[in-house]
Structure formats: C-alpha cells, structure tokens
A and B are shown apart, each in its own frame.
Chain A
C-alpha cells in the first residue's frame, strides 16, 4: 500500500464540557472527578417506572429547566443532554458565545441507538391508539437515531457534516477517529466530537432482558477538536490526539484485542508503555474488569491508578467520551500532567475495543 500523499493534520482538543451525574458543565465535572464521590441514587419510581431501584442520573435534569420552554416541547432526554452539552462548549461561564459555528463546523455524536424510549413510546401509540396510525407526528423525528445530532445542528448552527455514530461502549473513541478523518480530508475546520446516552425505563428493561448486570448511568461529553495549525484565536490546545485504534473481538474475551489495539496505538506514535503517564478504561461491570486487567498488564498499577475512577455508572455510548473528560479534568489541576501521555480505552460488550492516545498540553 502506498503511503498517503497528504499531510495528516494534528488534531487537538481545545475545549470540552459534560452534562453528567456530576452536574451540568465543565466545572461540575472537574469538581466531581476530584471529589471522587459516587453518583448512584435511588430512583423516584413515580417518574422512572421500570426495573431499576437506583441509577446514576444527571441531577434534576429536565429539558425545560435547562434549555427553556421554546423548542423543547417534543424534545427527548438524550437530545436535551446533547444540545445542552454543546451549548456549554460553545459558551463561557457568563453565557457569551466563544466558539463560532457555521458551514465549517461538524458534529460527530456517538450513540447506542438514540433514544430507545422515544422509539418505543412512538411505536406503543400505534398499538394502543384507536387506529394504528394514531401516533404523534411531532415526535416522529425522535424515533430516528439522528434526532439528537440534527437538533444540535439547529440549536447551534452546525452546518458541516453531521454524523451519528452508533458504536455502543466504544462510540466516543470511534467518533474521535471519525472526526480525525473529517479533519484530515478537509471536510470541516472544527469538529464537535462526543457521545450521549440517556437513562430511561425502556433502556433499563432492554438492559435487564439482555442480561446486563451494571447499574445504569447517563450523560454526554463533547470535545471541540481542531487541527493544531488552525486553532482559532482565544483557544489553546488542552491535548493532542496522537493515535486512535479500534479492533473487534470475535469470541467473548476482549483482552487480546484490546492489547493489540493499545500496542498498535503506542507503536504508531512511537512510544513505549513506560512513557504513558495515565491509562484509563471506560467499560463498567465484568468487561470493565477485563479492560482494567489488560491495562494493568501493559502499563502497571501506578499508571492505571493515576486517574481516579469516575463513579458514573454504566453510561453506555457516553462512557469513553466522559473518560476523556475525566483525564482532562485531572490534568487541569495536576501540574505534573503537563506534556504527559494518557491513554483512554473502551470495550463494548458486543465485540469492539478501541483506544486513544493523548498528549496532554503543557
């Protein structure tokens, strides 16, 4: 295979935010990571009729409260999470717009299957209504997986490529890889990259019936990624994305595939495991234990223990995007992190693994 005859850009993360069980916005997330508290809470069964007793919810998050009444009447929860997270990235703490958007701005949003609650609610009306087409037309777009990304585009004027990437547990890192490709081929000047997952009774039932044993969480993290050579005035790189790798595991055990992915990411950046300052996994439950065991075997305990575990529950598609935010949160308050390498990995229970190697700014 001939070598690429183009200069790949060096993608850098220049801003990020999260809406998570730690609360809304960048600062809440950084505080939450450092406080190290668990976010599990008993569910109000009136509001969340389902199989679960507890979950990791974004505290008191409703679309109406966070985004206002206008334009939120038919909005579902995952769309609200994504729209509000991007709003946080694009504005400063005083609410001033600090990132311009338009035709050159892309969005890559990871998901598992959009809002499965919306899909099932919409379909239910077809079975329970007087006639099978007595469904709510205003909610039809919600029943399609690209609803959140499309609404984010409308709310925030993102007219570039607008990609919904279904990748389950690895969605955040695969979205980053996809975004890197968009930048390399000059299809956008900046990309908002992230992933979102909502908590819902429908998701909880499917999780239960699929044999899922983890406590569910929810949230969204979005990172602004630009080519190093074109970072706009007023922003500084927080980290450079050096490499992203992904593979599939064909039997039940993800460890060999994850190790191959990690080694391939390290070698493509020409670094050794000992050069890596922090290594963080994303999966919850048994797959998460496999993941951490693999990282420990490659990097040793001190590198894996560097970043405290963010106790957010099983945040599904959002997990690896949130873990990048976790690493950046630690780097923000730890002077030692400057210039160091961090690896974030992810394991999806259905068969994919991925990892991203970052160089923290400084």
Chain B
C-alpha cells in the first residue's frame, strides 16, 4: 500500500488565512474571539465568536459568482484553491488525475437557512430567496470545489458527521490514496457561523461569555467559530516524484460511534476510538508526542476527553492542547484545522498553546501547554474530533524524514 503524505494546506480561519499565517497565529497564541457581527445578536446577553473578518470570496472564485455559492462553500473553495497552490500543483494538471474531493461539515449552508427562515417568518415562505434556496444542499461544499477547479474525474461528496467531519474526511482520503484508487485527495472541513447553532448552544448554557478556556477550572463553554481547512493528500511516491514539500505523513486513523447518547460524550468509546487510531497507525501510546484534543471548553467534554486520554495513555499522557482556545469551535472545520495545526507543529517544531488559561481543572489532568507555545521536536501527533451523534474520529500524523521507513 502507498504511504500517504500531506503536501498542501488551505486555511480560512479567524486567526489567519493560509498555512503560513495560520502557523504564525498558532505559534503566537492569537485569539479569534470578538463580538459576533454576522447575525443580529440582540436579546443574547453575550455574543462573542470567532468570525473570519473581512473575507472576500471574489479572488477565489473563477466559475461562480459569489451569489451562487454559500459562505461555507466560499470558504471551502478558497481553502481548496490555496491548498492546491500550496502543494505546488497546477490545477490544470490535477484535472488529468483521478481524485477524491470530500469536505466535512456540521451545518452546511445553515447561514443561508437562517435568513431563509427569517424571510419566511417576516414575509411568508413564498418570498424565500431563490438563489439562497439553490445554495443550501450540503454536497455543494464539495461539488463547488470540483466545479471551480474543473475537476471532472473525481468523486465529490460532503461528509456530514458534525464536528468530527474533518477527520472523517481525512481518513476517507487516506484510505483512497493508500490503496491507489485515487492519485490525490482534497479533504478537510468547512462551516460558516450561523444563528441556529449559536442559539442552540446558548440555550444549552454552553456558550462562554468572553473567550474559550479549555481544561481551565473556570471554563464556561465554547465560542462558535467558522472557517475551512483543506489538505492535499497524495502518495509518498507521487510527492517525491515531483519534489514536493512534505508537511507530515498520515500514519493512520480510527472511527467509531458511541451508540449511547446524541449529545453526551462517552469516555470508554472515545478511548476505543483513540486505540483504533493507534493500532491503525502501528504506534504505541508512549510514541505519541502531542495530542490536539477536541477540547471544546465545556465542562463535560474536557473532563470526559482527558479521562479517556488517561485511560489510553496512562498517568503520564502526552501534552494535550486545544486549538479551539484560539479558533473557537469551527464545527465541521474543527478537526480539519486541528489536523493542519498538528502537521504545522511537526513541520515548524513547536507545540501550539492552549490560550486563555489560568489554572488547570484538577479533573482534567493533562499538561495543556498554557498560553505560550513551546519549541518541540515532534515525531508523532494525534488529532481528536468528537461530535454529536457519538461520531468520534482520531487521526495520527508522523514526521516525515527522508530515507526513514516506519
């Protein structure tokens, strides 16, 4: 089977656009939190979120007019186009190769559905906007990439496993490239901030008033975020043949389902998912240098996830960080951005911090690398994605060293 490597990243996030800016943001511990401007927040006592401010889709669109694609699809197109360029690939050349395009999402174009509902409420369902109605099917997040990049010889679909969808998508691409059934895969995740999800989490009492503090004793919940992360996956052979820069190698992944509760996380099932990933990667727990946790900053997630980590890794687990402290919860993009963050950490030799941290919750017994990034030589890194529906997905990345085999 092929070894599968990551050679290009596209990032749209609240702390930076593009792999370079994103890496700088992670290293600096930048915060994307700010008052939400994308929808009317009147009536909420607090409404911070991690928006992508000032995003202009037009430079990224060549086939579509901006009005033809929703905000999440605009993010996914921009991230895909960036990722292909970052990988040093020519779009025209890519069109000749067999490929897979899968973007993960939680809400698809729910940002459009928000205002379709608003129109319905104020003016009646007859008045709902036609262009917006055409934008909302969830597979368009991936189709839009294929159409913009003129990729005809690809399978294109969206993986809608909520907040672990990015990792699900990366795992799918890994298998497809590993077996040689495709020559490349564009995988990742995208979501646009929406009122629906904010109102839902707010009602559940899980929106933090100001910022997100994963693993902190005084954490108050999530901040909703948005953005996209797209990764170029190809075989090691293909990357070497064209002299591409290799960020990291995908060593394996694991997927499972709690089959327990739609919302509450399940410790033993999350532990089983991590074990599946380690086994698939052929990696022993003590070989893992860093875990990028799902780490939402809610009471329940952080306790359950860190306990599951200790169940798998024992009493001295690897450093465990949450990039959601910086990015907020970007939903379907979250684990894609998390995996990109892990690969950038390997490439650039640092551990991204968990920011906004004061004192670690005694019930979350991990070193979350508070507030300041630290230099580190990372060989194996794990990225977790957990979701509503009990959809867990962990991805394991390894440093790629020329001439060494795993």
Interface string of B379-402 (1 = CB under 8 A from A): 000000001111100000000000
Across-interface contacts of A123 in B (CB, < 8 A): 110, 113-114, 117, 195-196, 199
The reply to whether B152 and A247 form a contact with Cβ atoms under 8 Å apart is: yes
> For residues 193 through 241 of chain B, which have their beta carbon under 8 Å from a beta carbon of chain A?
195-197, 199-200, 202-204, 235, 237-238
Q: In the complex, what distance in Å separates the CA atom of A189 from the CA atom of B105? A: 27
Q: In the complex, what distance in Å separates the CA atom of A122 from the CA atom of B194? A: 12
Across-interface contacts of B256 in A (CB, < 8 A): 103, 159-162
Answer yes or no: B274 CB below 8 A from chain A CBs: no
The reply to whether A248 and B147 form a contact with Cβ atoms under 8 Å apart is: yes
Given A140-B204, A163-B161, A165-B160, are A154 and B261 neighbors across the interface (CB < 8 Å)? yes
Across-interface contacts of B92 in A (CB, < 8 A): none
Across-interface contacts of B257 in A (CB, < 8 A): 107, 149-150, 153, 158-162
- Chain B proximity of A237: nearest CB distance (Å): 23
The reply to whether A164 and B159 form a contact with Cβ atoms under 8 Å apart is: yes
The reply to whether B180 and A3 form a contact with Cβ atoms under 8 Å apart is: yes
Given A123-B117, A126-B195, A144-B107, are A153 and B160 neighbors across the interface (CB < 8 Å)? no
Residue among A114, A133, A146 making CB contact with B43, cutoff 8 Å: A133
Answer yes or no: A1 CB below 8 A from chain B CBs: yes
Stretch of A170-178, A305-313, A323-331 lying at the B interface:
A170-178
Across-interface contacts of A68 in B (CB, < 8 A): none
> For residues 128 through 160 of chain B, which have their beta carbon under 8 Å from a beta carbon of chain A?
128-130, 133-134, 136-140, 143, 146-147, 150-160
- Chain B proximity of A272: nearest CB distance (Å): 22
Across-interface contacts of A153 in B (CB, < 8 A): 257-259, 389-390
Answer yes or no: A47 CB below 8 A from chain B CBs: no
Across-interface contacts of A187 in B (CB, < 8 A): 175, 255
Answer yes or no: B106 CB below 8 A from chain A CBs: yes
The reply to whether B146 and A351 form a contact with Cβ atoms under 8 Å apart is: yes
The reply to whether B130 and A211 form a contact with Cβ atoms under 8 Å apart is: yes
The reply to whether B43 and A209 form a contact with Cβ atoms under 8 Å apart is: no
Answer yes or no: A8 CB below 8 A from chain B CBs: yes
Answer yes or no: B168 CB below 8 A from chain A CBs: yes
The reply to whether A250 and B108 form a contact with Cβ atoms under 8 Å apart is: no
The reply to whether B108 and A131 form a contact with Cβ atoms under 8 Å apart is: no
The reply to whether A141 and B388 form a contact with Cβ atoms under 8 Å apart is: yes
Of the four ranges (under 10, 10 to 19, 20 to 34, 35 or more), the interface on chain A belongs to 35 or more
Across-interface contacts of A163 in B (CB, < 8 A): 159, 161, 168, 255
Given A1-B183, A159-B256, are A135 and B389 neighbors across the interface (CB < 8 Å)? no
Across-interface contacts of B128 in A (CB, < 8 A): 205-206, 209
Q: In the complex, what distance in Å separates the CA atom of A122 from the CA atom of B203? A: 12
Q: In the complex, what distance in Å separates the CA atom of A350 from the CA atom of B183? A: 24
Interface string of B327-340 (1 = CB under 8 A from A): 00000000000000
Q: In the complex, what distance in Å separates the CA atom of A140 from the CA atom of B204? A: 9
The reply to whether B389 and A350 form a contact with Cβ atoms under 8 Å apart is: no
Across-interface contacts of A201 in B (CB, < 8 A): 125
The reply to whether A145 and B160 form a contact with Cβ atoms under 8 Å apart is: yes
The reply to whether B235 and A116 form a contact with Cβ atoms under 8 Å apart is: no
Given A181-B175, A209-B130, A350-B137, are A248 and B152 neighbors across the interface (CB < 8 Å)? yes
Across-interface contacts of B195 in A (CB, < 8 A): 123, 126, 132
Answer yes or no: A235 CB below 8 A from chain B CBs: no
Across-interface contacts of A6 in B (CB, < 8 A): 1, 179
Answer yes or no: A61 CB below 8 A from chain B CBs: no
Answer yes or no: B324 CB below 8 A from chain A CBs: no
Q: In the complex, what distance in Å separates the CA atom of A249 from the CA atom of B152? A: 6
The reply to whether B117 and A120 form a contact with Cβ atoms under 8 Å apart is: yes
Q: In the complex, what distance in Å separates the CA atom of A124 from the CA atom of B124? A: 12
Of A103, A122, A126, chain B has the most CB atoms within 10 Å of the CB of A126
Q: In the complex, what distance in Å separates the CA atom of A351 from the CA atom of B261? A: 36
Q: In the complex, what distance in Å separates the CA atom of A103 from the CA atom of B260? A: 12
The reply to whether A113 and B200 form a contact with Cβ atoms under 8 Å apart is: no
Residue among B120, B125, B238, B391 making CB contact with A146, cutoff 8 Å: B391
Across-interface contacts of B168 in A (CB, < 8 A): 163
> For residues 177 through 209 of chain A, which have their beta carbon under 8 Å from a beta carbon of chain B?
177-178, 181-182, 184-185, 187, 201, 205-206, 209
The reply to whether B134 and A210 form a contact with Cβ atoms under 8 Å apart is: yes
Across-interface contacts of A137 in B (CB, < 8 A): 200, 203-204
- Chain B proximity of A329: nearest CB distance (Å): 26
Q: In the complex, what distance in Å separates the CA atom of A281 from the CA atom of B260? A: 38
Answer yes or no: B178 CB below 8 A from chain A CBs: yes
Across-interface contacts of B237 in A (CB, < 8 A): 1-2
Across-interface contacts of A162 in B (CB, < 8 A): 161, 255-257, 259, 389-391
Q: In the complex, what distance in Å separates the CA atom of A231 from the CA atom of B176? A: 24
| Between-chain CB contacts (< 8 Å), 23 pairs | A6-B1, A111-B160, A114-B160, A120-B113, A120-B117, A126-B199, A133-B202, A133-B203, A141-B389, A150-B389, A153-B258, A154-B259, A161-B256, A161-B257, A162-B256, A166-B105, A168-B139, A181-B176, A185-B179, A247-B155, A248-B152, A351-B143, A352-B156
